[in-house]
Amino acid sequence: GAGVSQSPSNKVTEKGKDVELRCDPISGHTALYWYRQRLGQGLEFLIYFQGNSAPDKSGLPSDRFSAERTGESVSTLTIQRTQQEDSAVYLCASSQRLAGGSYEQYFGPGTRLTVT
Amino acid sequence: AQTVTQSQPEMSVQEAETVTLSCTYDTSESDYYLFWYKQPPSRQMILVIRQEAYKQQNATENRFSVNFQKAAKSFSLKISDSQLGDAAMYFCAYRSFNNDMRFGAGTRLTVKP
């Protein structure tokens, strides 16, 4: 079956503009995560959705960042008034269970965001 | 909050040799899960191996095995018979029982022919 997909694969935007990144998880996966990966660094947790529960937004770095998810399908990560420090690869992952269990996260290919 | 530390930014190994990547974590929980992910230049994250904290037996997956020391909060990855295709960034990750996931900063592994 299809894996996690993300679009666009690359995005170049001017400082101050808003951007929207999209993630399509694997069908049936109830949990969805967003991460940020700066060049040469590890993954920084941003937000996750689990089923119909309220999302855990504890990793969002500022109020310029927000994310939504429609049911158990598509998610969008929005960055308003982009800054140069927002330049990074944004990775999305989905997994099969709400909580507990060692079900692995399946990652998308990421969106490389460049803010000029 | 849980933290994951990978103290080796870069490691190098000769093809066919064995290499061990270190990972330590900090937590007050007793139930959790640990993972090693591989990220080649393609950027695609690939699960290498996983370990449930309640299991005492170390996980193995073919040439990959872990040394899980729960009391020491250590979770190292051993790669045996290293292959050129093993060259990548390796990330250690901690997942709490309620799905809170944290990654280490990564170790870049180079495999020399």
pLDDT at A15 (0 to 100): 97
Identify residues of B whose CB sits under 8 angstroms from chain A CBs: 6, 33, 35, 42-45, 47, 50-52, 91, 93, 95, 97-106
pLDDT at B1 over 70: no
**Could you tell me which residues are beta bridge partners of residue B50?**
B35
Q: What is the mean pLDDT of chain A?
A: 90
Q: Give the model confidence (pLDDT) of B18-38 as tens digits.
A: 999 999 999 999 889 999 999
Categorize the per-residue pLDDT at B68 as very low, low, confident or very high, splitting at 50, 70 and 90. very high
What percentage of residues in chain A have a pLDDT greater than 90?
Answer: 66
pLDDT at B87 (0 to 100): 97
Mean pLDDT of all residues in A20-31: 93
Which chain A residues are Cβ-neighbours of B93 within 8 angstroms? Answer: 43
Identify residues of A whose CB sits under 8 angstroms from chain B CBs: 31, 33, 35, 41-45, 48, 50, 56, 89, 91, 93, 95, 98-100, 102, 104-105, 107, 109-110
Beta carbons of B65 and B19 less than 8 angstroms apart: no
What Cα–Cα distance (Å) separates residue A37 from each residue in A42, A111, B34, B69, B112? 6, 10, 20, 28, 27
pLDDT at A78 over 70: yes
Please judge whether B103 and A48 are an interchain contact, meaning their C-beta atoms are less than 8 angstroms apart: no
pLDDT at A101 (0 to 100): 60
CA distance B53 to chain A (A): 10
Please judge whether B106 and A56 are an interchain contact, meaning their C-beta atoms are less than 8 angstroms apart: no
Which chain B residues are Cβ-neighbours of A35 within 8 angstroms? Answer: 103
Categorize the per-residue pLDDT at A97 as very low, low, confident or very high, splitting at 50, 70 and 90. low
**3-class secondary-structure state, position A84:** helix
CA distance A41 to chain B (A): 6
Secondary element (H or E) of residue B12: strand B10-14
Q: Give the model confidence (pLDDT) of A36-63 as tens digits.
A: 999 888 899 999 898 888 898 989 999 9
Mean pLDDT of all residues in A62-85: 94
pLDDT at B78 (0 to 100): 98
Q: What is the mean pLDDT of chain B?
A: 93
pLDDT at B52 over 70: yes
pLDDT at A30 over 60: yes
Beta carbons of A92 and A32 less than 8 angstroms apart: yes
Mean pLDDT of all residues in A60-69: 95
